[in-house]
Structure formats: C-alpha cells, structure tokens
C-alpha cells in the first residue's frame, strides 16, 4: 500500500471515526427494538426480552438488512449533505450523485425485504417472481448509472490492467455495467444462502465478507480521488460491522436476503463511484469464488443426473461444502476473510496503478 493510501486512510478514519462508531451503536439499538417486533410476526407473541446471545431457539427473525439499511440511512444522508466534495479531484463526484447512490441502496434493500417477508412471514418459499425481481434490480442499476452520469460527467470508458489503457464502450457502457451490477448483487445473495432455507446460512459470513469488500473499495476510492465512493463504502461497511452484534453465529437476527442485497448494492454503488469496474471481480473475491464453486457443482450435478446418478447435490456453494465437512461457522468466516484480504491486496495494487491514469483523465 502506498504512503498516500495510508495517509488518506488515517485522515478518513480521523474524520469519520466517531460517526462510524455511533453508527455501529445505532445498529445495536435498532436491533434491540427490531428483533422482538419481527419475532412477534413470526411467533405471534411479543416478548421484549431477546434472551441469551449465545443460544438460539428457532424463533430468530429474518430481515436483518432492514436494520442495516435504517442505520445506514440515519448516518449516510446527513454525512452526504455536509460532506465537502469540492476538494475531490474526481470530477465525477457530486453531492447529488452521492445522495442518489444512497437512495439506490435503499431501493435494492426494499426488494430484499419484500423477499424476506414473502418467504419467512407469509410462507411463500418462491418469493418474488424471478423475472420481476431481476428486472427491478437491473432497472435500479441502470438508473444509478444514468444519475451518476447526469450529475457528474459522462464516463463510458473502462480502465484495463497491465498498461492496456482504457476501452471505450460508448452507450453500451450503461446496460453492460448494469448487468455486472445485477450479477454482483445476486452473487452476494448466494453468498448468504442457497435458495429459501436460511438455516443453511453461516451467521455473520455475509457481513464479514461484505464489510471487508466495502473497506477495500473505500481504500481504492481514496487512492483514486473519489471521496464520494469512499464515504458510501465506509458507512455501509460500518453498518455491516454493527450487524455482527446480532447476526454472528449463533444468530439472534438472520441477515436475510435484505441484508445480503444491502451489502451487494452498497458495494456495487461504491464501485460505480470509484470508476474502477475491475473491482467487481477483485474486491468481491470471496463472493465470486463461492458462486463459481456453486456453478461448477451445478454442472457436475447435471452431468451426473444425465447418467442416472442423483447422489450429488445441485448448486452447492463453497461455504455449504465446508459446513457439510464439519467445519464450524467461525472457521468458515476466517477462511473467507483470508480470501477477502487476498482480493483486497489485488484491488489496492490495481487502484495504485489506476491512480495515475484517472488523475490525468479526471
């Protein structure tokens, strides 16, 4: 990591440290209120006593992403309004674009909350119709890209590694990147849970991986002169860290699809603001690796099924494979954290390389 990244990180920590700590406390307080209320919708009786943190009884509610999104909103929007973007070298930064990025995160979380409500409270395991859900996510992604372009500056080039320069996509940039964002959000969803049974989820995995990915993007934004992207990534990362108070195994609050989509949407928005599209792959290494393992296992399942062998489970992601082999949830989180650190190191190297290019361009 360059000295500039270190200095930027220390300056950012000094400026945002108190608000981010208060945001973690906000998540704790909101969780204390939300858990009994959500649990009452699941069990039919309201009990304000949450119970021992180290024990679960099956009554733990979902919709953790709603708590994270509320805490995020409480601190992000005031900080976005009072933040000084005039000192940012990145002409793509704008207060309007930053605020719209925060609104975009809430829009995506609403889809996840609707999914959790249908699956966990209304007994509809299928959730939202898949086509409608994906069109909703894709449309929100496209609106964010257009808003960032409208309030900042039109930017349709993608920086390539290894001194290959930029590649210009023109008008195709918007539908193409919106598709990448849609895939990214779905990868974050898969990293939380396969299908509708969240009993197979690893409590806290989504939050730890999401927080590390967001911190990585925040540091990369600092290196590439995007204060807007750094602010969004850091505030969202603090919400993920705060959620660990309730979601770390054994969980008193289930992350839910809303929580996974919160992390995925915040990550996607921060990458868009950073203008480093390669971070979709590098900074989300654990989530992407999980999805690749699931895809490979699904192909193996289909091949064996065509031969009449139904012994292999379909679409099994890496974190579930590790759990089936007897590894604890905490060990699985540590293993994926190592992947996050590897992806983070690669992301920072790319950001340092990209800094010179973007400084001349922006």
Q: Which one has a higher pLDDT value, 139 or 59?
A: 139
Whether omega for the bond prior to residue 286 falls within 30 degrees of 0, making it cis, is no
pLDDT given for residue 89 in this prediction: 46
**Side-chain half-sphere CA neighbours of 195 within 13 A:** 10
pLDDT score of 1: 44
Q: Which residue has the higher pLDDT, 96 or 9?
A: 96
Tell me whether residue 330 is exposed, middle or buried, using C-beta atoms within 10 angstroms of its C-beta: 0 to 12, 13 to 18, 19 or more.
middle
16 has pLDDT over 70: no
Residue 5: per-residue pLDDT: 47
pLDDT in tens, 301-310: 777 666 665 6
- Average pLDDT of the chain? 86
Q: Where are the domains of the chain?
A: 3-50+60-361
Res 312: pLDDT? 56
**For residue 72, how many C-alpha atoms fall within 13 Å in the half-sphere facing its CB?**
32
The mean pLDDT value for 183-204 works out to 84
CB atoms < 10 A from the CB of 161, how many? Answer: 12
Reference 351, options 217, 228, 236, 230; nearest CA is: 217
- The three-class DSSP label of residue 88 is coil
* DSSP codes of every residue in 156-181: -EEE-STT--EEE-GGGHHHHHHHHH
For residues 100 and 92, the model is more confident at 100
Answer whether residue 174 shows pLDDT above 60.
yes
Q: Which residues 6+ apart lie within 8 Å of 18 measured at CB?
A: none
Between strands 166-168 and 157-159, the pairing is antiparallel
């Amino acid at each position: 990591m360059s000295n500039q990244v270190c200095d930027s990180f220390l300056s950012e920590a000094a400026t945002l440290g108190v608000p981010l700590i208060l945001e973690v406390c906000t998540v704790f307080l909101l969780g204390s209120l939300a858990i009994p209320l959500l649990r009452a919708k699941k069990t039919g009786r309201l009990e304000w006593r949450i119970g021992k943190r180290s024990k679960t009884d099956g009554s733990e509610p979902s919709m953790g992403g709603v708590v994270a999104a509320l805490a995020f909103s409480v601190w992000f929007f005031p900080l976005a309004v009072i933040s000084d973007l005039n000192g940012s070298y990145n002409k793509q930064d704008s207060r309007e674009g930053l605020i719209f990025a925060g609104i975009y995160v809430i829009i995506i979380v609403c889809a996840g909350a609707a999914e959790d409500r249908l699956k966990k409270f209304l007994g509809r395991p299928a959730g939202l119709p898949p086509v409608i859900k994906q069109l909703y996510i894709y449309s929100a992604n496209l609106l964010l890209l257009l808003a960032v372009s409208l309030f900042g500056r039109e930017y349709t080039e993608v920086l390539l590694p290894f001194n290959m320069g930029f590649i210009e996509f023109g008008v195709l940039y918007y539908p193409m990147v919106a598709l990448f964002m849609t895939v990214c959000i779905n990868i974050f969803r898969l990293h939380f849970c396969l299908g509708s049974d969240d009993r197979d989820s690893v409590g806290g995995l989504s939050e730890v991986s999401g927080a590390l990915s967001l911190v990585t993007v925040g540091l990369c934004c600092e290196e590439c002169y995007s204060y807007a992207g750094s602010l969004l990534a850091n505030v969202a990362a603090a919400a993920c860290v705060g959620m660990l108070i309730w979601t770390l195994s054994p969980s008193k609050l289930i992350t839910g699809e809303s929580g996974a989509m919160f992390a995925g949407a915040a990550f996607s928005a921060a990458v868009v603001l950073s203008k480093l599209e390669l971070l979709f792959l590098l900074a989300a290494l654990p989530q992407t690796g999980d999805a690749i393992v699931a895809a490979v296992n699904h192909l193996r399942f289909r091949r064996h099924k065509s031969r009449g062998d139904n012994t292999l489970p379909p679409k099994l992601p890496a974190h579930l494979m590790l759990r089936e082999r007897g590894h604890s949830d905490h060990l699985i989180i540590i293993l994926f954290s190592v992947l996050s650190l590897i992806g983070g190191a690669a992301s920072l190297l790319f950001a340092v390389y990209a800094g010179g290019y973007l400084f001349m361009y922006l």
